């Protein structure tokens, strides 16, 4: 147990008891983390690759990459997906994550796993190894050993684990919702009203504070959330004092969403993720009916962009590729296109194609064919399956094309491979 979990609105001991019972029932390794990504408690029932990973990387001055890159980033990603998310750790293993948020701030998160959701292959291991920073600790044979020793579960079971966990955590989320941001919102409103009072006394309300807006956008681009929040309060103070109707204030709030999203892109955020998020926020803004709601909402938007988008683009790229690989391995027998896989990981086709080549050193079609051929090799060893059927079973429409691709990858035809019983 690395750190205590302190939260007035969260019954920590009750949460621990709930998660302990859940872990024992599912027999899956389960970890509770706090809002800083530190482990509060963990319940182990199977091989734990994390223990070996920690021992290998525990040297003076070395930060636990899981704490920052996996636990925290995965928890914020889960917030965007109804608090249920599969995130891949730096070793390419799957973490099943369900967080508890209050006022857009992480209070705790439940991490199940790591597990394998797909059978690892050499290409995948090469890609994972190329992205590991601690290569002096992780030789490729050690990485391979850890990955292959990790338990493999089906995607259906992973979804069931997350669904059940989400139901168990609902009471904790409801409690947080009822007390959502009361103290923080009150403090924020006080800051806003103080700004209004100071500006009124100084009689500077006629002129819009463009310099503050520039500082605000710069803070977002630099990922300085604390400074950005302070400047947002000042800008909201001006907006509430100077604007007339509530509808006019909503229009100005819409402008803030656009400005924040642009600043996030300037700071290195992924356009393919930021723009859809902006559209979602704009739709949500329409439903708000009070100034307090708008204050809370804009703070949430700011928090999401600064904590969930910036400074994580490389991690997100690798994670997206691992999710894509998992999708390909589950659907290789179907006619899956580049567009379909890119859509599955919420990327444009061009961006996905570019980062797939960057991370795997292969293009999408090559990897898809590789997966299909590897699976066809297993089917060829079963002589009860007619040779002519195998191409269709692994996703090839044309028998002759399958034969040509098979020979390129394996060196012999499918028929000869079967005769040699795979001994080549």
DSSP 147-173: HHHS-B--HHHHHHHHHHHHHHHHHHH
Percent of the chain with pLDDT over 70: 77
Give CA–CA dist 159/165, Å, rounded: 10
Least confidently predicted of 124-128, 135-139, 143-147? 135-139
Give CA–CA dist 80/347, Å, rounded: 15
Band (176; pLDDT cuts 50, 70, 90) = very low
- pLDDT at position 86 over 80: yes
DSSP 3-state of 337 = coil
Mean pLDDT of 148-171: 88
Q: Residue 268: its pLDDT value, please?
A: 62
Identify the residue with better confidence: 382 or 217. 382
Q: What structural domains does the chain harbor?
A: 12-178 (no CATH), 182-308 (no CATH), 314-419 (1.10.10.60)
- pLDDT at position 359 over 70: yes
- pLDDT at position 297 over 60: yes
Mean pLDDT across the chain, nearest whole number? 79
Q: Residue 310: its pLDDT value, please?
A: 47
Band (205; pLDDT cuts 50, 70, 90) = very low
SS (H, E, C) 238-296: HHHHHCCCHHHHHHHHHHHHHHHHHHHHHCCCCHHHHHHHHHHHHHHHCCCCCHHHHHH
Mean pLDDT of 280-304: 82
Q: For residue 92, how many C-alpha atoms fall within 13 Å in the half-sphere facing its CB?
A: 30
Single out the residue of 226, 225, 287 nearest to residue 253, CA to CA.
287
Least confidently predicted of 90-99, 310-319, 337-346? 310-319
Q: Residue 287: its pLDDT value, please?
A: 85
- pLDDT at position 225 over 90: no
Q: Residue 379: its pLDDT value, please?
A: 94
Mean pLDDT of 161-186: 67
Least confidently predicted of 323-327, 330-334, 344-348, 420-424? 420-424
DSSP 3-state of 176 = helix
Q: Residue 63: its pLDDT value, please?
A: 45
pLDDT in tens, 368-379: 999 999 999 999
Q: Residue 270: its pLDDT value, please?
A: 62
Range from 84-93, 159-168, 189-198, 261-270 that averages highest in pLDDT:
159-168
Q: Residue 411: its pLDDT value, please?
A: 92
Percent of the chain with pLDDT over 90: 21
For residue 133 the two structure tokens come to 């920073």
Q: Residue 414: its pLDDT value, please?
A: 93
369: CB partners within 8 A, 6+ apart: 405, 409
pLDDT in tens, 29-64: 999 998 888 889 999 988 888 877 777 665 333 445
pTM above 0.75, yes or no: no
* Residue 61, phi-psi category: left (phi > 0), alpha (psi -120 to 50), beta (remainder): left
Q: What is the largest CA-CA distance in the chain?
A: 91
Q: Residue 288: its pLDDT value, please?
A: 86
Q: Residue 316: its pLDDT value, please?
A: 66
- pLDDT at position 160 over 80: yes
Q: Residue 178: its pLDDT value, please?
A: 41
Band (338; pLDDT cuts 50, 70, 90) = very high
Give CA–CA dist 116/147, Å, rounded: 8
31: CB partners within 8 A, 6+ apart: 39, 41, 42, 43, 50, 110, 111, 112
Q: Residue 196: its pLDDT value, please?
A: 45
């Amino acid at each position: 147990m690395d750190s205590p979990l302190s939260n007035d609105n969260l019954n920590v001991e009750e949460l621990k008891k709930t998660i302990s019972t859940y872990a024992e029932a599912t027999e899956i390794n389960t970890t509770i983390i706090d809002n800083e990504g530190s482990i509060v408690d963990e319940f182990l029932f199977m091989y734990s690759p994390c223990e070996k990973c920690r021992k290998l990387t525990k040297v003076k001055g070395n930060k636990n990459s899981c704490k920052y890159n996996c636990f925290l980033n995965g928890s914020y990603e889960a917030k965007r997906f109804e608090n249920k998310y599969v995130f891949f750790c730096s070793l390419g293993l799957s973490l099943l994550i369900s967080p508890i948020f209050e006022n857009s701030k992480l209070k705790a998160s439940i991490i199940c796993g790591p597990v394998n959701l797909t059978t690892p292959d050499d290409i995948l291991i090469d890609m994972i190894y190329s992205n590991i920073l601690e290569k002096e600790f992780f030789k490729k044979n050690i990485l391979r050993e850890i990955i292959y020793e990790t338990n493999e579960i089906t995607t259906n079971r992973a979804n069931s684990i997350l669904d059940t966990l989400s139901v168990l955590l609902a009471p904790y989320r409801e409690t947080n919702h009822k007390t959502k941001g009361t103290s923080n919102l009150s403090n924020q409103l006080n800051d806003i009203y103080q700004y209004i009072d100071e500006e009124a006394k100084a009689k500077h309300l006629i002129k819009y504070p463009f310099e503050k807006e520039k500082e605000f956008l710069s803070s977002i681009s630099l990922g300085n959330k604390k400074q950005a929040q302070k400047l947002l309060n000042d800008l909201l103070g001006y907006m509430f004092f100077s604007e007339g109707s509530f509808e006019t204030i909503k229009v100005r709030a819409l402008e803030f969403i656009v400005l924040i999203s642009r600043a996030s892109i300037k700071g290195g955020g992924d356009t393919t993720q930021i723009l859809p998020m902006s559209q979602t926020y704009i739709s949500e803004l329409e439903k708000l009916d009070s100034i307090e709601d708008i204050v809370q909402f804009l703070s949430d938007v700011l928090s999401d962009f600064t904590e969930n988008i910036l400074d994580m683009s490389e991690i997100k790229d690798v994670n997206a590729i691992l999710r894509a690989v998992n999708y390909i391995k589950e659907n290789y027998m179907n006619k899956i296109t580049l567009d379909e896989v890119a859509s599955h990981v919420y990327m444009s086709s061009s961006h996905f194609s570019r980062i797939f080549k960057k991370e795997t050193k292969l293009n999408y079609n090559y990897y898809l064919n590789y997966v299909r051929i590897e699976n066809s090799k297993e089917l060829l060893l079963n002589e009860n399956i007619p040779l002519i059927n195998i191409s269709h079973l692994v996703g090839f429409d044309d028998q002759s094309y399958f034969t040509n691709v098979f020979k390129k990858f394996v060196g012999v035809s499918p028929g000869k491979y079967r005769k040699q019983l795979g001994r080549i």
